[in-house]
Amino acid sequence: MGVIDEAIERLWQRIMARLRSRHRLFEEPKFCEQCQAADQRSKIFILQVSRTKIPYNPFYDELGNFCDNDPNITTIEFKCSRGHEWKEEKKGSGHETFVGAIPKQI
Ligand SMILES: [Zn+2]
């Protein structure tokens, strides 16, 4: 395989990894922690998804690796069918870095 083919293959692998990462956001099993603590079951509804819009420039480093330095935060607000609300924040394009979950007091 030539150098260009290898570069394209690496880029393709990264694109696919990013897509999988993005979709995993809603594909992984998810439970309300407060319900779990009380040994109860519930559905979880997504109330809102928002994302900061900080401009940034992804780049290729000296080794040719693509560096996605996306500083943007995606915030997802959840509410379970028993009324518990919380939000989760994730950093980066592929939502790969979990910043934290913040329970909301009702
Ligand atoms: Zn709950």
Q: Is the pTM of this model over 0.75?
A: no
Q: Could you report the per-residue pLDDT of 13-51, keeping only the tens digit for each?
A: 777 777 666 655 566 788 999 999 999 999 999 898 888
Q: How far apart are the CA of 91 and the centre of ligand 1, in A? A: 25
Q: What value, to the nearest 5°, has the Cα angle with vertex 9 and ends 4 and 97?
A: 125
Domain that holds residue 83: 3-104
Q: How far apart are the CA of 93 and the centre of ligand 1, in A? A: 28
Q: Please enumerate in sequence order all residues whose Cβ is within 8 A of that of 82, keeping only pairs 6 or more positions apart, or say none.
A: 32, 34, 35, 40, 42
The tally of domains found in the chain comes to 1
**Residues 2-6: what's their mean pLDDT?**
79
pLDDT bucket at 80, cuts 50 / 70 / 90: very high
Give exposure, 36-45, as e/b (b: 16+ Cβ within 10 Å).
Answer: eeeeeebeee
Q: How far apart are the CA of 56 and the centre of ligand 1, in A? A: 37
Indicate the Cα dihedral angle 69, 99, 96, 68, nearest 10°: 0
